[in-house]
């Protein structure tokens, strides 16, 4: 597989995951050639590259980022940071998105990563070759010319908060109001005086409904989760999920009640998509699950392809760090070799069965939440890395609890370490 001068690694995307990949591949020059990072944007940062435009970019590609103007992180910077690169010190914990973009630029500068990134390059095709290497076709967007290159390893870092998923609603074609997805939400000004229904109450649904409540007459946060036990603005109510559209502005909800709205905003999440993977790669997405992956990361049939950051409800940057270092080790250390294809598939099946037995639906297979810590610890132990800092898990849990009951206030929280080394709320 190796050309003798080290493995040739292709990284698809220069968001946080792709940057983390470039940082660690380039640091192990004994084993790897200089990584090649293809990025279709003209800037690094992926999700964190705010674009006030919606729709298509200058080259006709869909705008990638779902970032909105006033967005502040829902995780504190102490939890978000890569383990080997803290955020610059500041009293604030929940940062405006521009600060995360600057942090990623600093990460890039600190580890001299820009030399590896090719901007305005869209990966169009990845194909397995008979010798198990990878053919990659890349379009240079300004000139539209297409070039080919061969790699030993593919790191898929194209993100999964870009392609909107619209939950189905019966007779939705009857609706005559504004219909949009949170991917295209930028700020609340256009909702002034409107009645707005937001469908879905995950992080974006909650955050955006609070913003819109500042301008709208009435906000309905429609969802089938347990009720959020927090005080909400007086013009915002939680109601059951939407079932059917019954008139140009009317919807029936899961409990049979009705609402009349001017706008329906889908906050129903995103699709996993890998349009550049040729059929030879044999990657499928079923029930919001990417298959066949071992540890949500390695392609069981083509283990020289890995997908960073597929799981949801995680702390993404530390997660990328552990996934990446563990995976690189499996490529270079004979003692850390991956199990056989059959064993990797059996391990994934076992995990799926365990989760089904716990009542977790198939479509939530990649949802981690509390189990992310054991996952990262396991990878760290297998790759001889320092385990995740327990203070980070403790702060994550502290914030999780505060968010539940103090939705409108928790982003003003600041934290400090007490004498026993635990994070406490700064009073």
Binding residues among 221-280 for ligand FAD as defined by CB under 6 A: 276
Q: Which of 40, 300, 324, 331 binds ligand FAD (CB under 6 A)?
A: 40
Please, what sign has the CA dihedral across residues 54, 56, 58, 64? positive
CB of 341 to ligand FAD, least distance (A): 26
From its phi and psi, is residue 194 left (phi > 0), alpha (psi between -120 and 50) or beta? beta
46 binds ligand FAD (CB under 6 A): yes
CB of 51 to ligand FAD, least distance (A): 11
Q: Which stretch binds ligand FAD (CB under 6 A): 8-16, 186-194, 259-267, 296-304?
A: 8-16
Q: Which of 14, 81, 126, 169 binds ligand FAD (CB under 6 A)?
A: 14
Q: Which residues, 6+ apart, have CB-to-CB distance to 325 below 8 Å?
A: 24, 379, 383, 385
Is-contact 286 334, C-beta < 8 A? no
195 binds ligand FAD (CB under 6 A): no
73 binds ligand FAD (CB under 6 A): yes
Distances 120 to 14, 42, 148, 300 between C-alpha atoms, Å: 11, 5, 15, 31
**Tokens 């297998």, residue located:** 382
Q: DSSP letters along 310-363, please? A: --BSS-HHHHHHHHHHHHHHHHH-GGGPPPPHHHHHHHHHHHHHHHHHTT--GG
312 binds ligand FAD (CB under 6 A): no
Residue 300 burial (CB count, 10 A): 22
Radius of gyration of the chain measured on its C-alpha atoms: 22
CB of 253 to ligand FAD, least distance (A): 26
396 binds ligand FAD (CB under 6 A): no
Q: Which residues, 6+ apart, have CB-to-CB distance to 242 below 8 Å?
A: 169, 197, 199, 222, 251, 252, 253, 254, 264
CA distance linking residue 261 with residue 250, whole number of Å: 7
66 binds ligand FAD (CB under 6 A): yes
26 binds ligand FAD (CB under 6 A): no
CB of 71 to ligand FAD, least distance (A): 6
Q: Which stretch binds ligand FAD (CB under 6 A): 37-45, 188-196, 209-217, 228-236?
A: 37-45
In the sheet that holds 121-128, the strands lie side by side as 121-128, 134-140, 146-151
CB of 289 to ligand FAD, least distance (A): 17
Q: Which stretch binds ligand FAD (CB under 6 A): 1-9, 72-80, 81-89, 237-245?
A: 72-80
Q: Which of 7, 9, 10, 12 binds ligand FAD (CB under 6 A)?
A: 12
Distances 170 to 266, 273, 281, 372 between C-alpha atoms, Å: 14, 25, 36, 36
Q: Which stretch binds ligand FAD (CB under 6 A): 1-9, 43-51, 108-116, 295-303?
A: 43-51
15 binds ligand FAD (CB under 6 A): yes
Q: Which residues, 6+ apart, have CB-to-CB distance to 59 below 8 Å?
A: 120, 122, 141, 142
309 binds ligand FAD (CB under 6 A): yes
Residue 53 burial (CB count, 10 A): 11
Q: Which of 23, 24, 122, 299 binds ligand FAD (CB under 6 A)?
A: 122
149: part of which helix (H) or strand (E)? Answer: strand 146-151
Tell me the three-class secondary structure of 153-213, residue by residue: EEEECCCCCCEECCCCCECHHHCCCEEEEHHHCCCCHHHCCCEEEEECCCHHHHHHHHHHC
Q: Which of 10, 32, 38, 241 binds ligand FAD (CB under 6 A)?
A: 38
Number of residues near ligand FAD (by CB under 6 A) = 34
210 binds ligand FAD (CB under 6 A): no
Q: Which of 47, 101, 133, 330 binds ligand FAD (CB under 6 A)?
A: 47
Residue 96 burial (CB count, 10 A): 15
Q: Which stretch binds ligand FAD (CB under 6 A): 60-68, 256-264, 358-366, 414-422?
A: 60-68
108 binds ligand FAD (CB under 6 A): no
209 binds ligand FAD (CB under 6 A): no
Q: Between 186 and 345, name the residue whose CB sits nearer to ligand FAD.
A: 186
CB of 408 to ligand FAD, least distance (A): 17
Q: Which stretch binds ligand FAD (CB under 6 A): 40-48, 228-236, 322-330, 394-402?
A: 40-48
159 binds ligand FAD (CB under 6 A): yes
Half-sphere exposure of 418 (CA within 13 A, CB side): 9
CA distance linking residue 85 with residue 110, whole number of Å: 9
101 binds ligand FAD (CB under 6 A): no
Site residues (vs ligand FAD, CB under 6 A):
12-18, 38-41, 46-48, 64, 66-67, 71, 73-75, 80, 122-123, 157-159, 161-162, 204, 276, 309, 315-316
């Amino acid at each position: 597989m190796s050309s003798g001068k080290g493995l040739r690694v292709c990284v698809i995307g220069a968001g946080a995951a792709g940057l983390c990949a470039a940082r660690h591949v380039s640091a192990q020059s004994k084993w790897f050639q200089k990584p090649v990072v293809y990025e279709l944007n003209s800037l690094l940062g992926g999700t964190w590259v705010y674009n006030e435009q919606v729709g298509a970019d200058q080259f006709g590609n869909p705008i990638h980022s779902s970032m909105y103007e006033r967005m502040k992180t829902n995780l504190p910077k102490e939890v978000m940071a890569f383990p080997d690169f803290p955020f610059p010190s500041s009293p604030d914990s929940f940062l405006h998105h521009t600060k995360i973009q600057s942090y990623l630029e600093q990460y890039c500068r600190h580890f001299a990563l820009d030399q590896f990134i090719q901007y305005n390059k869209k990966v169009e095709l990845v194909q397995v070759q008979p010798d198990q290497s990878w053919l990659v076709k890349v379009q240079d967007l300004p000139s539209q010319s297409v070039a080919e290159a061969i790699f030993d390893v593919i790191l898929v870092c194209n993100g999964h908060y870009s392609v909107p998923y619209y939950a189905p609603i019966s007779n939705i074609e009857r609706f005559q109001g504004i219909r949009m997805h949170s991917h295209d939400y930028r700020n609340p000004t256009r909702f002034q005086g409107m009645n707005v229904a937001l469908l879905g109450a995950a992080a974006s649904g909650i955050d955006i409904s609070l913003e819109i409540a500042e301008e709208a007459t009435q906000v309905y946060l429609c969802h089938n989760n347990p009720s959020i036990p927090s005080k909400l603005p007086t013009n915002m109510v939680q109601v059951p999920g939407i079932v059917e559209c019954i008139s140009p502005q009317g919807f029936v909800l899961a409990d049979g009640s009705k609402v009349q709205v001017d706008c329906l905003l889908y906050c129903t999440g995103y699709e996993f998509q890998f349009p550049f993977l040729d059929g030879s790669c044999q990657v499928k997405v079923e029930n919001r699950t990417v298959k066949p992956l071992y540890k949500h990361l390695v392609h069981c049939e083509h283990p020289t392809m890995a997908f960073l950051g597929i799981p949801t409800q995680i702390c993404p940057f530390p997660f990328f760090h552990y996934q990446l270092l563990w995976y690189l080790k499996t490529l270079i250390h004979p003692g850390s070799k991956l199990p056989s294809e059959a064993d990797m598939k059996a391990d994934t099946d076992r995990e799926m069965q365990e989760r089904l037995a716990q009542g977790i639906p198939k479509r939530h297979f990649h949802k981690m939440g509390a189990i992310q810590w054991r996952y990262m610890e396991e990878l760290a132990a297998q790759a001889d890395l320092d385990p995740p800092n327990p203070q980070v898990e403790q702060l994550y849990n502290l914030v999780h609890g505060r968010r539940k009951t103090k939705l409108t206030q928790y982003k003003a929280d600041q934290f400090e370490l007490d004498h026993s080394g635990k994070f406490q709320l700064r009073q």
